[in-house]
Amino acid sequence: MMLGGTEGGPRERPAPPASRDATAYLEVTGVEKQFRDTPVIQGLDLQVRAGEFVCLLGPSGCGKTTLLRIIAGLLPADRGRILLEGADLTRVPAHKRNVGVVFQSYALFPHLTVAENVAFGLKARGLPAAEIRETVARALALVRLDESADRSIFVLSGGQQQRIAVARALAVKPKLLLLDEPLSALDRKLRETMRMELRYLLRDLAITAIFVTHDQDEALVMSDRIAVMNAGRIEQFDVPAAIYTRPATPFVLDFVGMSTRLAGTVAGGNGGQVEVETALGRLRAHGRLPAGTRVLVAVRPEDLRLGPPHGHAENAVTLRVRDPVFLGSKLILHFHAPEGDRVVAELPPAAGHGLVPGDGVTVSWDVAATLVYPTP
Partner 1 sequence: MSPTGRETALAGELALGRRRGRLRERVEPISLLALPGTLYLSVAFGVPLLLLLVRSVYGDGGLSVASYVRFFEDPFSWAVIWNTLKAALLTTLICLLAGYPAAFALARASGALQALLLTALILPLSVGVVVKAFAWTILLRSDGIVNRLLLLTGLTEAPVRLIFTQPGLILGAVNVFLPFMVLPIFAVVKLIDRSLLDAAATLGASPVHRFLHVTLPLTMPGVIAGVAFVFSMSVSMYVIPTLLMGDRFKTLSILIARSFLFMRDRAAGSTLAVVLLLIAVAVVVASAMLSRRHQHAR
How far is 369 from 316, CA to CA, in rounded Å?
Answer: 12
Shortest Å, Cβ 178 to partner 1? 8
The answer to whether residue 66 forms part of the interface with partner 1 (CB under 8 A) is no
Whichever of 63 and 73 has its CB closer to partner 1, that residue is 73
Given a contact cutoff of 8 angstroms between Cβ atoms, the answer to whether 343 and 335 are in contact is: yes
How far is 274 from 283, CA to CA, in rounded Å?
Answer: 8
Among 26, 44, 70, 72, binds partner 1 (CB under 8 A): 72
Kindly tell me the sign of the dihedral angle through the C-alpha atoms of 256, 258, 264, 265: negative
Among 44, 169, 228, 266, binds partner 1 (CB under 8 A): 169
Shortest Å, Cβ 153 to partner 1? 9
Shortest Å, Cβ 213 to partner 1? 18
The answer to whether residue 161 forms part of the interface with partner 1 (CB under 8 A) is no
The piece of 22-30, 165-173, 209-217, 345-353 that touches partner 1 (CB under 8 A) is 165-173
**DSSP-derived pairing of the beta strands 260-270 and 294-299:** antiparallel
Three-state SS string over 47-108 comes to EECCCCEEEEECCCCCCHHHHHHHHHCCCCCCEEEEEECCEECCCCCHHHCCEEEECCCCCC
Pattern 172-211, partner 1, x by CB under 8 A: x---------------------------------------
Given a contact cutoff of 8 angstroms between Cβ atoms, the answer to whether 119 and 132 are in contact is: yes
How far is 32 from 81, CA to CA, in rounded Å?
Answer: 10
The answer to whether residue 157 forms part of the interface with partner 1 (CB under 8 A) is no
The answer to whether residue 242 forms part of the interface with partner 1 (CB under 8 A) is no
Buried b (16+ CB within 10 A) or exposed e, 256-291: bbbbbbbbbebeebeeeebebebebeebbbebebee
Whichever of 53 and 120 has its CB closer to partner 1, that residue is 120
Among 11, 20, 79, 125, binds partner 1 (CB under 8 A): 125
Whichever of 132 and 298 has its CB closer to partner 1, that residue is 132
The answer to whether residue 105 forms part of the interface with partner 1 (CB under 8 A) is yes
Shortest Å, Cβ 142 to partner 1? 17
The per-type count for the chain, helices as H runs and strands as E runs, is 8, 20
The answer to whether residue 129 forms part of the interface with partner 1 (CB under 8 A) is no
Judged by the rule CB under 8 A, the positions of this chain that interact with partner 1 are 72-74, 93-101, 103, 105, 107, 109-111, 120-121, 123-125, 152, 154, 168-169, 172
